[in-house]
């Protein structure tokens, strides 16, 4: 429910509304605009009529609007303006087009530092790399775990690039958060609700990937889980969904970008590497993503893809990544953004 305050509502009236929202068992979410203050009342809506009636007759309240979507904090109904998330000076969701690039897995100090230097040189603003890897086979490389996090921190020190890395388990959330600037929730964990609740308590931006079997509504409900715990800084990432098509690893749902943009104020990214599974398809899908209105991309880059511990076939060599970045610039400009 959205409680819109009068233009001249005073602090006492605003505080009274917040207190009452909480007395009714809801959480309040205050948005102070230039013109007026808007307060979201978020919670179990079974007895919403009582709250609505109370608020409609409260001093200082202009009007009360119900949020019709099942996602409330993630909905544009509550947040009209686009959200811009600042990660060590990199502004995600604004006029800057942000590229997160790096290897699928962190493999060694040399590998991650070499890749970090190369992607920075090409224009990427954030370094990606997995230390905890969600592999289909239990016998496949599972990631370097904490040592991998340390190597990511080393690459950050060497280049200044903020780092995004995946957290797979609520037990490791605090540990990963000690190293990472952005916490990634992978496609396989998009509906791991206990993990979502745990990381929702951590004050670091979350990079939430769409599951291969989640609808856009379910995806936004997962963002809502995180936001309902207090963490409002969620970046959404379309990374391909599972369809009958086998020519590509997944099917990139390009229309998810404008659909999400219409529904939410949160930044929307695309990962053309996992979406296609092949490095030679990354460029076209990256261009399509820019044209469809994405706020940024996540791309896998490896100095020697043939030797990569994971996802070599979809990883770009640094030289190809540099060319991709150069080729993307006019598309980004056409969208009124810059790298
Ligand atoms: C990844 O980004 O390393 C990854 C495993 O991606 P996804 O969760 O989208 O499969
Ligand atoms: Mn990967």
Chunk the chain into consecutive blocks of 10 residues (it has 339) and report each block's average pLDDT, rounded to whole numbers. Answer: 95 96 94 90 88 95 94 94 97 98 98 98 98 96 98 98 98 97 98 98 98 98 97 98 98 98 98 98 98 98 98 98 98 97
pLDDT value of position 44? 87
Does some domain include residue 70? no
Confirm or reject: Cβ of 240 under 6 Å from ligand 1. no
Question: How many angstroms separate the Cα of 149 from the Cα of each of 7, 99, 111, 159?
Answer: 49, 20, 13, 15
Q: Which domain holds residue 17?
A: 2-65
Does some domain include residue 339? no
Identify whether residues 48 and 134 lie together within a single domain. Answer: no
Which residues are near ligand 2, the ion (C-beta closer than 5 Å)?
A: 104, 311
> What is the number of other CB atoms lying within 10 angstroms of the CB of residue 319?
11
- Say if residues 297 and 289 touch (Cβ distance below 8 Å): yes
Identify whether residues 159 and 26 lie together within a single domain. Answer: no
pLDDT value of position 95? 97
Does some domain include residue 71? no
Identify whether residues 117 and 61 lie together within a single domain. Answer: no
pLDDT value of position 12? 97
Identify whether residues 178 and 293 lie together within a single domain. Answer: yes
Is pTM beyond 0.95 here? Answer: yes
- Say if residues 67 and 16 touch (Cβ distance below 8 Å): no
Identify whether residues 201 and 120 lie together within a single domain. Answer: yes
Does some domain include residue 290? yes
- Say if residues 221 and 71 touch (Cβ distance below 8 Å): yes
- CA 20 from chain centre, in angstroms, equals 32
Q: Which of 209, 308, 311 to mutate to test the pocket of ligand 1 (most atoms within 8 A of CB)?
A: 209
Identify whether residues 25 and 122 lie together within a single domain. Answer: no
Confirm or reject: Cβ of 209 under 6 Å from ligand 1. yes
Identify whether residues 115 and 18 lie together within a single domain. Answer: no
DSSP helix/strand/coil, 253: coil
Confirm or reject: Cβ of 249 under 6 Å from ligand 1. no
Does some domain include residue 77? no
Q: State the Cα–Cα distance between residues 178 and 126, nearest whole angstrom.
A: 17
Look up the CATH number of the domain holding residue 24. 3.30.70.1140
Q: Output DSSP code: residue 225.
A: H
Name the domain count of the chain: 2
What are the residues whose beta carbons fall under 8 Å from the beta carbon of 187, sequence distance 6 or more? 209, 210, 211, 212, 239, 274
For the CA atoms of 226, 232, 235, 241, the dihedral, rounded to the nearest 10 degrees, stands at 30
Identify whether residues 27 and 113 lie together within a single domain. Answer: no
Binning the chain into helix, strand and coil, the percentages to the nearest 5 are: 40, 20, 40
Identify whether residues 89 and 210 lie together within a single domain. Answer: yes
Does some domain include residue 74? no
Does some domain include residue 76? no
Beta bridge partners of 96: 338
Confirm or reject: Cβ of 302 under 6 Å from ligand 1. no
Identify whether residues 94 and 161 lie together within a single domain. Answer: yes
pLDDT value of position 290? 98
Q: Given the CA of residue 298, which atom of ligand 1 is nearest to it?
A: 2
Tokens representing 117?
A: 């230097």
Question: How many angstroms separate the Cα of 310 from the Cα of each of 131, 162, 238, 302?
Answer: 12, 22, 20, 10
> What is the number of other CB atoms lying within 10 angstroms of the CB of residue 194?
10
Q: Given the CA of residue 133, which atom of ligand 1 is nearest to it?
A: 5
Look up the CATH number of the domain holding residue 182. 3.20.20.70
Query: Which residue CA neighbors atom 10 of ligand 1 most closely?
Result: 187
Confirm or reject: Cβ of 129 under 6 Å from ligand 1. no
What are the residues whose beta carbons fall under 8 Å from the beta carbon of 157, sequence distance 6 or more? none
pLDDT value of position 308? 98
CA max distance for the chain: 68
Identify whether residues 201 and 238 lie together within a single domain. Answer: yes
Identify whether residues 61 and 187 lie together within a single domain. Answer: no
E strand or H helix at 318, and its extent?
helix 318-334
Confirm or reject: Cβ of 239 under 6 Å from ligand 1. yes
Does some domain include residue 289? yes
């Amino acid at each position: 429910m959205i409680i819109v305050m009068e233009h001249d509502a005073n602090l006492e009236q605003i505080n009274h509304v917040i207190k009452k929202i909480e007395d009714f068992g809801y959480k309040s979410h205050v948005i102070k605009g230039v013109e007026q203050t808007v307060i979201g009342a978020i919670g179990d809506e079974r007895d919403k009529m009582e709250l609505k009636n109370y608020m409609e007759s409260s001093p200082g309240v202009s009007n009360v609007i119900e949020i019709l979507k099942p996602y409330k904090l993630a909905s544009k109904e509550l947040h009209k303006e686009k959200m811009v998330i600042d990660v060590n000076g990199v502004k995600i969701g604004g006029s800057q087009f942000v590229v997160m690039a790096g290897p699928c897995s962190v493999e060694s100090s040399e590998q991650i530092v070499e890749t970090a230097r190369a992607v920075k040189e090409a224009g990427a603003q954030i370094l990606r790399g997995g230390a905890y890897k969600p592999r289909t086979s239990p016998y496949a490389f599972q990631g370097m775990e904490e040592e991998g996090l340390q190597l990511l921190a080393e690459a950050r020190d060497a280049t200044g690039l903020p780092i995004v890395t995946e957290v797979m388990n609520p037990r490791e959330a605090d540990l990963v958060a000690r190293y990472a600037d952005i916490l990634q929730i992978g496609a396989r964990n998009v509906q791991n609700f206990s993990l979502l609740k745990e990381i929702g308590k951590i004050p670091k931006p979350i990079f939430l990937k769409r599951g291969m079997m989640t609808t856009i509504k379910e995806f936004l409900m997962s963002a809502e889980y995180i936001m309902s715990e207090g963490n409002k800084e969620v970046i959404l990432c379309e990374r391909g969904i599972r369809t009958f098509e086998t020519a590509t690893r997944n099917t990139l749902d390009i229309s998810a970008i404008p659909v999400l943009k219409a529904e939410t104020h949160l930044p929307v990214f695309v990962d053309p590497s996992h979406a296609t599974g092949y490095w030679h398809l990354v460029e076209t899908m990256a261009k399509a993503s820019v044209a469809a209105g994405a706020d940024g991309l996540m791309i896998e880059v490896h100095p020697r893809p043939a030797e990569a511990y994971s996802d070599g076939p979809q990883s770009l060599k640094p030289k190809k990544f540099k060319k991709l970045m150069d080729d993307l610039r006019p598309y980004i400009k056409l969208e009124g953004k810059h790298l």
